[in-house]
A and B are shown apart, each in its own frame.
Chain A
Amino acid sequence: MAPEVSCCFLVVLLSASCEVITSSDQMCIEKEANRIYNCENLGLSEIPDTLPNTTEFLEFSFNFLPTIQNTTFSGLINLIFLDLTRCQINWIHENAFQSHPQLSTLVLTGNPLIFVAETALNGPKSLKHLFLIQTGIFSLEFIPAHNLKNLESLHLGSNHISSIKFPKDFPTGNLKVLDFQNNVIHYLSREDMDSLKPATKLSLNFNGNDIQGIEPGAFQSMVFQSLNFGGTVNLSVIFSGLHNSTIQSLWLGTFEDTEDQDLSSSMFEGLCEISVESMNLQKHSFSSLSSATFQCFTHLQELDLTGNHLKELPPGIKGMNSLKKLVLNVNKFEQLCQINADSFPSLTHLYIKGNIKKLQLGAGCLEKLENLQKLDLSHNDIEASDCCNLQLKNLSHLQSLNLSYNEALGLRNEAFKACPQLKLLDLAFTQLHINFPQSPFQNLHLLQVLNLSHCFLDTSNQYLLAGLPNLRHLNLQGNRFQDGNIPKTNLFQMVGSLEILVLSSCDLSFIDQEAFHGLGNMIHVDLSHNNLTSSSINALSQLKGTYLSLASNSICIIPPHLLPILSQQNIINLSHNPLDCTCSNIHFLTWYKENVQKLEDFKELRCANPPPLQGVQLSDVTLSCGITAVGTFFLTVFLFLLAALLIYVIKFFLRWKYQHL
C-alpha cells in the first residue's frame, strides 16, 4: 500500500501540467494579416463585419449575394482583388464599386447575371482583369463599357456569344488577353476583327468554338501574341482566314472528345501566307504524310505534333532548316531514327516523351543535331545494356538530358562522354546497372543537377559520383544504403561542391558522424521519410545556415547537446516525428518555443508520448517539469508526515524493546 501511495504522489509531483488550446474559427481564414482573407464556401449573405477595412485580397466565392449594390462592399475600400465566383448574383446595381478606386481584378464567374447597370463598374481607377465566364452573356453589349479603358484581360468563356463584334465605344486598346473559350462563334467577319485593331500583341482564345468561316482579309496585317482555335475541325478555313497576319503562337490542336478530320497536305497551303513562329497540332491525324506536307512550315521556329499517331517523319523534308523546337510526344515510333532528324539541323530543343511503343534509341540517330541543347526522352520504356555514348553520338552541345521513367540502362565509365556540356541530367525512376567501381558520370565537368531518384543504385560504390567537380544538386531519393547506414567513407566524398542533397525515402536508420565531412557548401538537405533517430543529427554538425528537413523520421527525444546543431540551421522541418512530450525531452520542448520561426510546417509537430498527449500539437503543450508551489506544499506535508511516522515507529519500537528487557 505504502509504495503505491508514494508512487502516486511522485507522479502528481512530477506530472506535466499540459494545456490544450483549440480554437474553431468558423469565419473567414486570414491568409495574411489585414490584407488577404478567404471566405469561400461559408454560405454568407453579406460581408462579415470582422474583415478589416484594410483588406486587399478577398476570396468570396460560393457564397450568397443575389444583389450587389454600392453598400455591399462599402466597408472594404482598399480592395484590389475580389473573387465573387458562384455567389448566385443576379443584379449588379448602379455604382456597386464606386468606393473601390484600387480594384484591379473582379471575378464574376458562374453567376446568373440578369442585368449589370451602366455605372456598375464605375469607381475603380484601373480595372485590369474582368472575369465574366459562364454568366449567361449573349451579346458583348451586356458589358458596361464605361470604365474599361484600362482593361488588360477579359474572360468571356462558356457563354452564348456568337459574334465577337464589340460595341463602338468599347475600349480595346489595352487588351492583352481576350478569352472566348466554349462559346458559339462560327464566323469571324472583317467588321468583328476591326474592333480589335487598337489592341497590340493580343492573345485571342477561340478554343471550343468550331469556326466554320473567316471573311477573307479579316486578320489582314494584324499582329497577335497567341491565337487559339483548339477543337476546330476544318483547319484550312483557319489557314486561309489568317492570310497576311503575324502570330507568335498558333494553337490548333484537337481533343479526344472532338470529331476529327484527317489533315491533308492541301490543308496547309494557306500557312505559306501567314507568319507563325510556333504551332501546335496536338491529337490530329495526318491522312498521308510526305515531305510535301511540310512545304509551308518553312518559317516555323517551334512545332508541336503531340499525339499525332506518327510512326515516322518522312525523310527529306525540305526547308525546315530554321526549326528550333520540335515536340513529338505520345506518338508511335519504334526507333529513334524514324524521326529522320537530318531534316532539322537547327534544332535546339527536342521532346519525345511518353511514346506509345517501346522506343529503341539505335545508334547515332540524332548525330546531325549538332546544336541540340535540350533532349527529353522520358517515359519511353527505353532499354539499353550499354548506354549512352553510341546513342547520343555527336550531341556535343547538349545541356539538358531527360531519360527518366525508362526501363533498365547499363552505364559504364564515362557513359556520357558524347555530351560533355551537360548541365542537367535526369535519370529518375530508371533502373541503372553500374558495376563496381565504375564512374559513369566521369568528366561531366559542367554538370550541376543530377537526379538519380529511385534508380536502384549500388550506393556502396564510392566512385559512383567521381568526376563531377561542379555538381550542386543531387537527388538520391528512394535509393537504399547497405544496412540503412551511411558510413564514414561514402560516395559523397567525391562531390564536395554539393549545395542541395536529397536523401528522402532511402530507408536510412543511421548516418555516421563524419559522413558529410567535406560538404561545406550545403544549403539544402532533405532527409525526410527515413527511420533516423536523433543520434544521426551529429552528422549535421558541419552544416550551417541550411534548410534541413528531418520530417517523417523516428526522432523521439533530442538531447540538449544536439540542439546547437539545429540552432545553427536556417529552416528546419521536424514534422511527423514521434516526438516525446515528457520531461525527458524538456530541453527540446523549451528550444522549440524559442525557435518556432525557424520551424517549417510547425503545426505538424505533434506528440507521440505520453499517451494522453498523443497527436497534440507541440505549440499547444506547456510542460512544467520543476516542482511547483503546490508540489512543494505537498512534499513538505509528506516529509512532515513521514518524520512523524518515523518518530512514532521509533518510539513504539523503543517502548516494545524496553518492555521486553
Chain B
Amino acid sequence: MQTLTMTRFLTALLVWTLMAPGSGGRGRGTAWPTHTACRNEGLEVLYQSCDPLQDFGFSVDQCSKQLKPNLRIRLGIILREDIRELYLDISLISKGTSVLHYSYPICEADLPKFSFCGKKKGEQVYYAGPVNNPGFEIFKGEYQILLELYNEKRATVACANATVICS
C-alpha cells in the first residue's frame, strides 16, 4: 500500500515538473539575454530582466567609477500594470546574501515625481532623463544588484538582476 501511494505521489510530482515550465506564455523557463547598460574605463554594468513575461531596455549615459549625481538614464518598457503608484526596491547582494536594501517611491498618488506617472497598463514608456541619485565612488569589486519596480498592488512592473564590475 505504501509503495502504491509513493508511486502515485511520484507520478504526480513528475507530471507537475514536466508540465510546469510549459504552462503560461512564451518566454517562461528561458532566461532573457544579458544586456550591457554601460561599459567604460574600468566600470561595466550588465543587467538581465527577471520578469518572466518580458525584457526591457536600459542604459546609463555616463559610466565612471566616480558616479556623478543626477545621472541621466534611458529606459524603454511596456507596462503590464497601471503605474499611478510605482515603487523601486534595490537590494545589494554580496555572495548570495542581501547586504543593503532600499525602497524608494517614484510615483505616489499625492506626489507623482515623474511625467510618466499615471500611465496605464499596455502603454509603452520611454524615459530619457535624470534619476536624482547622489554621487558616490564605486570601489573595486563585483556587485550583484536586484532591482524591482512594482505598483500599489505589489504587481511587478519591471525586475532586473544587475552585475556591476569595477576593476
Q: Are A158 and B5 also in contact (CB < 8 A) when A256-B132, A257-B130, A330-B111 are? A: no
Tell me whether B5 and A255 are in contact (CB under 8 A).
no
CB of A404 within 8 Å of the partner chain: no
Tell me whether A109 and B129 are in contact (CB under 8 A).
no
Chain A hits for B124, CB < 8 A: 110, 134, 158
CB of B42 within 8 Å of the partner chain: no
Give, as a whole number of angstroms, the nearest-CB distance from B135 to chain A.
Answer: 17
**Bound CA span A307–B114, Å:** 13
- Classify chain A: how many residues form its interface, as a range: 35 or more
Contacts of B1-31 to chain A: CB distance below 8 A: 1-2, 5-6, 8-9, 12-13, 15-16, 19-20, 22-26
CB of A43 within 8 Å of the partner chain: yes
Tell me whether A22 and B127 are in contact (CB under 8 A).
no
Chain A hits for B15, CB < 8 A: 22
Partner of B122, one of A110, A207, A256: A110
Q: Are A85 and B5 also in contact (CB < 8 A) when A257-B127, A329-B111 are? A: no
CB of A157 within 8 Å of the partner chain: yes
Chain B hits for A61, CB < 8 A: 121-122
Give, as a whole number of angstroms, the nearest-CB distance from A21 to chain B.
Answer: 7
Q: Are A255 and B123 also in contact (CB < 8 A) when A20-B9, A306-B110 are? A: no
Least CB separation from A8: chain B residue: B2
Tell me whether B78 and A109 are in contact (CB under 8 A).
no
Chain B hits for A327, CB < 8 A: 110
Least CB separation from A207: chain B residue: B118
Partner of B25, one of A18, A43, A182, A330: A43
Tell me whether A257 and B123 are in contact (CB under 8 A).
no
Least CB separation from A251: chain B residue: B112
Contacts of B55-113 to chain A: CB distance below 8 A: 78, 80, 110-113
Tell me whether A255 and B112 are in contact (CB under 8 A).
yes
Chain B hits for A20, CB < 8 A: 8-9, 12-13
CB of B120 within 8 Å of the partner chain: yes
- Interface core residue of A25, A41, A131 (most chain B CB under 10 Å): A41
Partner of B111, one of A17, A19, A158, A306: A306
Chain B hits for A282, CB < 8 A: 111-112
Tell me whether B113 and A256 are in contact (CB under 8 A).
yes
Chain A hits for B19, CB < 8 A: 24
Tell me whether A158 and B25 are in contact (CB under 8 A).
no
Tell me whether B2 and A15 are in contact (CB under 8 A).
yes
Least CB separation from A131: chain B residue: B120
CB of B119 within 8 Å of the partner chain: yes
Q: Are A158 and B132 also in contact (CB < 8 A) when A17-B5, A41-B53, A628-B1 are? A: no
CB of A473 within 8 Å of the partner chain: no
Q: Write the A1-42 contact mask toward B (1 if CB under 8 angstroms, else 0).
A: 000000000011001011111101110000000000000011
Least CB separation from A24: chain B residue: B19
Tell me whether A158 and B119 are in contact (CB under 8 A).
yes
Contacts of A119-156 to chain B: CB distance below 8 A: 131, 133-134, 155
Q: Are A133 and B1 also in contact (CB < 8 A) when A110-B78, A329-B111 are? A: no
Chain A hits for B13, CB < 8 A: 20, 22
- Classify chain B: how many residues form its interface, as a range: 35 or more
Tell me whether A157 and B123 are in contact (CB under 8 A).
yes
Tell me whether B25 and A41 are in contact (CB under 8 A).
yes
CB of A258 within 8 Å of the partner chain: yes
Chain A hits for B112, CB < 8 A: 230, 253, 255, 282
Least CB separation from A13: chain B residue: B1
Q: Write the A239-257 contact mask toward B (1 if CB under 8 angstroms, else 0).
A: 0000000000000010111
Tell me whether B78 and A86 are in contact (CB under 8 A).
yes
CB of A661 within 8 Å of the partner chain: no
Tell me whether B53 and A258 are in contact (CB under 8 A).
no
**Bound CA span A578–B9, Å:** 21
Chain B hits for A307, CB < 8 A: 111
Least CB separation from B72: chain A residue: A257
Tell me whether A257 and B12 are in contact (CB under 8 A).
no
Partner of B115, one of A12, A110, A257: A257
**Bound CA span A26–B23, Å:** 5
Chain A hits for B16, CB < 8 A: 22, 24
Tell me whether A21 and B12 are in contact (CB under 8 A).
yes
Give, as a whole number of angstroms, the nearest-CB distance from B165 to chain A.
Answer: 29
Give, as a whole number of angstroms, the nearest-CB distance from A221 to chain B.
Answer: 29
Least CB separation from B127: chain A residue: A257
Tell me whether A630 and B1 are in contact (CB under 8 A).
yes
Partner of B123, one of A15, A21, A110, A628: A110
**Bound CA span A304–B1, Å:** 72
Least CB separation from A630: chain B residue: B1
**Bound CA span A257–B126, Å:** 12
Least CB separation from A257: chain B residue: B129
Q: Are A62 and B115 also in contact (CB < 8 A) when A43-B25, A155-B120, A157-B120 are? A: no
CB of A231 within 8 Å of the partner chain: yes
CB of A181 within 8 Å of the partner chain: yes
Give, as a whole number of angstroms, the nearest-CB distance from B21 to chain A.
Answer: 10
CB of A420 within 8 Å of the partner chain: no
Least CB separation from B15: chain A residue: A22
CB of A611 within 8 Å of the partner chain: no
**Bound CA span A306–B105, Å:** 15
Give, as a whole number of angstroms, the nearest-CB distance from B75 to chain A.
Answer: 11
Q: Write the A99-126 contact mask toward B (1 if CB under 8 angstroms, else 0).
A: 0000000010110000000000000000
Partner of A86, one of B20, B25, B118, B122: B122
Least CB separation from B11: chain A residue: A20
CB of A478 within 8 Å of the partner chain: no
Chain B hits for A12, CB < 8 A: 1-2
Chain B hits for A208, CB < 8 A: 115
Contacts of A579-603 to chain B: CB distance below 8 A: none
Chain A hits for B111, CB < 8 A: 282, 306-307, 329-330
**Bound CA span A631–B117, Å:** 66
Give, as a whole number of angstroms, the nearest-CB distance from A246 to chain B.
Answer: 24
**Bound CA span A12–B3, Å:** 10
Tell me whether A255 and B1 are in contact (CB under 8 A).
no
Q: List 20 A-B contacts (CB under 8 A).
A: A17-B1, A18-B5, A20-B12, A21-B12, A22-B13, A24-B16, A24-B20, A61-B121, A62-B25, A110-B78, A134-B122, A134-B124, A158-B124, A208-B115, A230-B115, A255-B114, A255-B117, A256-B129, A257-B129, A329-B110
Given A86-B78, A256-B114, 9 more A-B residue pairs with CB atoms under 8 Å apart are: A18-B5, A61-B122, A86-B122, A255-B114, A256-B113, A256-B130, A327-B110, A329-B110, A628-B1
Interface residues of A (CB under 8 A from B): 11-12, 15, 17-22, 24-26, 41-43, 61-62, 85-86, 107, 109-110, 131, 133-134, 155, 157-158, 181-182, 207-208, 230-231, 253, 255-258, 282-283, 304, 306-307, 327, 329-330, 612, 628, 630-631
